[in-house]
Chain A
Amino acid sequence: MKLAIQVNEGPYQHQASDSAYHFAKAALEKGHEVCRVFFYHDGVYNGSRLTTPPQDDRNVVARWVDLAEAYDLDLVLCVAAAQRRGLVDDGEAKRNAKDATNIAPRFRISGLGQLVEAAILADRLVVFGD
């Protein structure tokens, strides 16, 4: 089965990102394909490279990065949500004249069309949010 996953919440305000991560991991371990994880609204905060959670706490961002490394996942931050919240990659820094970037490795910033495409390509779209 080919899955697309949508995450609408940031890592620490709500359980959605945790639920989405555990669901994605379980699906991948069962041999299913996750064709895209789309981070929307506050979900884009899952893609900040600059978070430093306490060492004895789960590292939500690093966990997504590790999962993407292991399974070659496509982690996409919604561009409009990212611009509003200050999530920046090289392209966005240039386009909007920002002095820094903060996107985590394995994440990329793209448009809402990527969510629509994932929903079309996947057998199921599973949404996690508040």
Chain B
Amino acid sequence: MADLHTVNKSPFEKNSLEAAIRFSLAGSCILLIEDAVYGALRGTRVEEMVKAAMADKKVYALQSDLLARAIKDDRLIEGVGVVDYAGFVDLVETNDKVQAWL
């Protein structure tokens, strides 16, 4: 049973990324969209939390939301996957459920 967790808030504004990481099961996917893509940046105070989550979960960020915030791939934490909207759809399909952490 794998679930997709979508997070749309910056981790510097709200704790929804932290909650998603804490409550999601091993094997889950976490997709960062909208302002949550800031959580995929290297060198921030949430980097270690995201890296630790990637030990047993997959973390993705939505490409167009990265581009809209001028975040290029070379500024991302290593191992974070970048997906477009078609990839978002694929993640919804390949996981059993979708949980939005609004």
Contacts and interface: CB of A to CB of B under 8 A. Distances in A.
Give the interface size class of chain A: 20 to 34
Contacts of A23: 85, 88-89
Contacts of A125: 98
B82 to A, nearest CB: 15
A8 B6 CA distance: 15
Given A19-B34, A26-B88, A8 B102 contact: yes
Interface in B1-48: 6, 8, 33-35
Contacts, number: 49
A127 B102 contact: yes
Contacts of A49: none
Given A124-B97, A129-B102, A130-B102, A19 B86 contact: no
Contacts of A1: 92-93
Contacts of B92: 1, 3, 27, 124, 126
Interface in A29-70: 29-30, 32
Given A22-B64, A23-B85, 17 more contacts: A1-B93, A3-B92, A8-B102, A15-B34, A15-B35, A19-B8, A19-B34, A23-B88, A23-B89, A25-B85, A26-B84, A26-B88, A30-B89, A32-B89, A32-B93, A128-B8, A128-B100
Interface of B: 6, 8, 33-35, 64, 84-86, 88-89, 92-93, 97-98, 100, 102
Interface of A: 1, 3, 8, 15-16, 19, 22-23, 25-27, 29-30, 32, 124-130
Which 7 residue pairs of A and B lie closest in terms of their CB atoms, listed nearest first? Answer: A26-B85, A127-B100, A129-B102, A27-B89, A15-B34, A22-B85, A26-B86
